[in-house]
Structure formats: structure tokens, C-alpha cells
Chains A and B, each alone.
Chain A
Amino acid sequence: MAKIQLNGKQFVLNKKHSLISLLKKFKINEKKVAVELNGKIVNKNKFSSTVIKNKDKLEVVHFIGGG
């Protein structure tokens, strides 16, 4: 079990997740986002090999409208 923080919200994961499976769980298209794990950017080709651990803090961002 892992308690994580994703985009400022707390979640409890009942099974082991890689970053890619976590994004899939939240129905996030991994091609359209960038991810920061504990303050460090995760390279896209590391999404599947990155394992989510207890107390991890994740920020998942994408593009929105702006000036």
C-alpha cells in the first residue's frame, strides 16, 4: 500500500504501480503530459520503469489555454 500525493490530492494505492500504470489508472494520456516526481522531471522513456513509492509527490501537467 502506498500513500501518494497527486496534483495536490491524497490517494491510497492498493497495489504496486509504475508511473505508466498510475497514469492509466487515472485515465491520463501519457503522450500529452509531463510528470514531476518529488520535484524532478521524469523523462518520458522512464515512465514504465519508474515505480511509485509510499509518500511520493507527483505533479502531472498539460497545456491549457493561455495568453
Chain B
Amino acid sequence: MKKDNFKIAGQLLKSRLIVGTGKYKNFKETALAIKASGADMVTVAVRRVNILDKKKPILTDYLNPKKIKYLPNTAGCYDAEESLRTLRLAREMGGWKMVKLEVLGDKKTLYPNMIETLKATKILVKEGFKVLAYCSDDPILTKKLEDLGASAIMPLASPIGSGQGIVNKINLSIIIKNSKVPVIVDAGIGTPSDATIAMEMGCQAVLVNSAIALSHKPILMAEAFKYAVISGRKAFLAGRMQKKLYAKASTPSKGLI
């Protein structure tokens, strides 16, 4: 069988599970969970350095950006301008060109503001960024993102941190069918079986944070997600059986006594 490589913007990734680094108990747990997940790309956020507490541990001490790929995000940004500022700073920090654009609509739903997302994508692509765009599961808008040059589109399964799983499978199927760039389900995955479903549907990857970090045993859950994503991908490649209305015996009736 041909090797099932996963590439975003020409970048080869070993794992189809991308993991967020927020909400863990501490950085040690973050690092262990990421190791257990097998992910080779993690999302990170850009924030002010705490200048008064210099002893506070920092993420890069626990997750070496030379060993694991950082995907800077724009979490907390509510318009194109703020997100551009954040990602330009991220790029300056270490040359990160592949970024997760996430422009939020409001604090209650954290639903993407697609007007600002499209605006920002256009500018970022022009500036040479490889944009992975968090977006609504609207097939027309995801197509627009692709037309503007997004490297991957990341429709939500359900609201960020809600753990509701994939609420609109029909939209997601249409998006997968119509996209030429990788479709990565981002946000709303609650449990490994949700990730498996996304992968079985034909998503190229999934992005998970809360479902791992907020589980009772994040390191164990990270490993569960690793297998769930592999499992879903293999099932997609294998192609599922057809659904039938009536039963069909698995055992042949020939030779029945």
C-alpha cells in the first residue's frame, strides 16, 4: 500500500492528531500528554511575558520547539488586525510561518468571525504565512478560505471547549468532499470516538485540547486519542461496508444440519 503521508503546505507530519497545550495542570503534564498523544505539532498562544515573576516556568522549557512543531494561534483575537499583530509577533519569535488563524466572534460562543477571518487570511497569505484557519462549518465560506490561499481549513465540530462532538455531519461531509486542502476538525471534540468519526468521514486530521486536558487522566486520554485517530484514518482508507435495512447472516447456510 502507498504510504499514507500527511502534509500541510508541503510540511510532512507524522501524526494526524494535533494537540493544544492549554488548560493542563502544569507544564510537566502538558509535555507528558503530548508525548503520549504522538502528536508532532502543537498549538501555542502568544501572550505578554510576566515581567514581575521571573521564576515562573515557561512553555519552551518543557516543549522544545526544535523537536515539536509549534503552531502559533490567535486565540483571544476578535478582529483581523489583532490576529495579524499576534501572528507577526509569533513569526518574529522564531520564524514560524505556519499559523492557526482563529478570529473569534464573541466571548459566549467563541464562534469564528468569518468576515474578519477571510480578511486576515487574505493579508496573511500575501505576507507569506501558511494559514490554517479555524472556521465555521459553512461549505461556501470554507471554499472562500481555500480560494484565498488557506493551507488548511479547520471547521469546528461544535463550540470550542464544549465537548459536544460533531454536530453537523452533513456540512462537514460537504466540506471534506469539496476541499482540495486538508480539512482538520478543530474544536468541540469531546472524546476519542468523536475523533474517530471525524477521521472515518475523511478529515485529514483533528485538533484536540480540552478533551485531553480536562479529562481525569490527561496522559492516558492523550494516548486514547492517538489510537482513535489512527483507527479512524485506517477505517477511512479501508472503506466501510454498506448499511443495509435487513439482517444478513455472517455464517453461510450451506451445510446446515
The residues of A with any CB-CB pair to B shorter than 8 Å are: 6-9, 26-28, 32-34, 36, 41, 43-44, 59-67
Partner of A41, one of B58, B60, B89, B207: B89
Which residue of the partner chain B has the closest CB to A7?
Answer: B48
**Chain B residues whose CB sits within 8 angstroms of the CB of A67 once the complex forms:** 20-23, 43, 45, 73, 75, 160-161, 187, 207, 209-210
Q: A7-B48, A34-B90, A43-B92 are in contact. Are A64 and B20 (CB under 8 A)?
A: no
Contact between A41 and B46, CB atoms less than 8 A apart: no
Contact between A66 and B43, CB atoms less than 8 A apart: yes
Instruction: Add 15 more A-B contacts to A63-B58, A64-B44 (CB < 8 A).
Output: A8-B48, A26-B54, A27-B54, A28-B51, A32-B58, A32-B93, A60-B48, A61-B48, A61-B49, A65-B23, A65-B24, A65-B44, A66-B43, A67-B45, A67-B207
Please report the C-alpha to C-alpha distance between residue A60 and residue B65 in the assembled complex, in whole angstroms. 19
The residues of B with any CB-CB pair to A shorter than 8 Å are: 20-24, 27, 30, 43-49, 51-52, 54, 58-60, 65, 70, 72-73, 75, 85, 88-90, 92-93, 160-161, 187, 207, 209-210
Partner of A33, one of B49, B54, B160: B49
Please report the C-alpha to C-alpha distance between residue A60 and residue B93 in the assembled complex, in whole angstroms. 10
